Amino acid sequence: MPPKSLELAQQLLGFNTINPPGNEADCMHFLADWLAEQGFDIALTQFGSDRVNLIASIAGTSAGKPLAFTGHLDTVPLGNQPWQFDPFGRDIDGDRLYGRGASDMKAAVAAFAIACVQQKAAIQAGRGVVLMITGGEETGCDGARALIEAGNLPEIGALIVGEPTANYPVIGHKGALWLRCETHGKTAHGAMPELGINAIYLAADALGKIRHFSPGAPHPLMKQPTLNVGRIEGGLNINSVPDRTAFDVDIRSAPNLQHATVRQQLASLLGEAVTITTLVDLPAVLSSEENQWVQSVYRHCQPLFDRPLDAKVVPYFTDASLLLPALGNPPCMILGPGEPTMAHQTDEYCLLSRLAEAENLYEKLIKDWM
């Protein structure tokens, strides 16, 4: 028997929400209308052309704060490799549902939406639920930032982030600090380079230093922080001395590191020849294993795995980086049916068996919270 959330997941996959540019509006409005038909209260906020966030809620009648779920509807581009399956279709092959965003993370959004519908009576008799659905996550949590700036965030007691974990409960993730480093020289004719200052050479000197730069000490759980130079561009034409070069640095951090300190240390290393601009600044997320609710999530997840669950974190960032501080830092778990190894891959898929597990798991967590 197929998962109850399969049809909704397929409908969400049918929308092209590649970011950039995002264009989540049509998909978000479809989901908002679907949720409204199921009895959710709906609040939509726009944060750009065809860019929309959604807060959907079902109020409870018992004392206490609601349980919240969050997910995003934007996806990364398709990549350069050809797809065997339609990235915006509803193709199923065996146990696999294919499509861009199947694992990251439209299937999870469908699963927790259906779980809420299935447990609607318990929710109304309990403490309520809130769904926070964002756009713009893939480019640095732009939608979550806009949601916070718009105000009127709900009070919540705990947060589940449906990012892909193959239904393994994850207590945190690394932070992300993205920096643009620029060097500025002096242009001159390529036949007379001695009259100029080559910004590419200045950048090469900086890159030589940055290869051996450590953002900080390792964390007991998140291990060593990482640094990667992911993009470089400089020069306008081959027969001129380039007067500007820029390269982008991706640093993944842990709770024991302060991003302001890391940036300052890097600036000191590179010197005055390099100017640094922050592009994305997202703190690490880590919930305490000792938290009572975290332990209850572990208990519900344990039957899905043969070995005892260990504290686990993931290297990617989520909207929780921004949402948690804005919500008063409630306990948070990252838990979704998607396959982590399939995120951003060609022929991305989510296993239908994982989707069914997630539905059941979310329902248990909802009932337990209520």
Where does the chain have alpha helices with state H? 6-13, 25-37, 107-118, 120-125, 142-150, 199-210, 259-270, 292-301, 320-326, 352-369
What are 46-58's pLDDT values in tens digits?
Answer: 999 999 999 999 9
Residue 273 placed within a domain:
yes
What are 54-95's pLDDT values in tens digits?
Answer: 999 999 999 999 999 999 999 999 999 999 999 999 899 999
Helical axes 199-210 vs 259-270, angle rounded to 10°: 130
Cα R_g (the chain), whole angstroms: 23
Question: Which CATH number belongs to the domain containing residue 133 in this structure?
Answer: 3.40.630.10
Q: Give the number of other CB atoms < 10 A from CB of residue 90.
A: 17
What are 283-314's pLDDT values in tens digits?
Answer: 999 999 999 999 999 999 999 999 999 999 99
Total domains in the fold of the chain? 2
Mean pLDDT of the chain: 97
What are 33-46's pLDDT values in tens digits?
Answer: 999 999 999 999 99
Same domain, 51 and 128: yes
Residue 193 belongs to domain spanning: 175-282
What are 147-179's pLDDT values in tens digits?
Answer: 999 998 999 999 999 999 999 999 999 999 999
Question: Which CATH number belongs to the domain containing residue 203 in this structure?
Answer: 3.30.70.360
Residue 196's alpha-carbon distances to 181, 203, 243, in angstroms, are 20, 15, 8
Answer whether 13's CB lies under 8 Å from 104's CB: no
1 vs 323, higher pLDDT? 323
Residue 349 placed within a domain:
yes
Residue 1 placed within a domain:
no
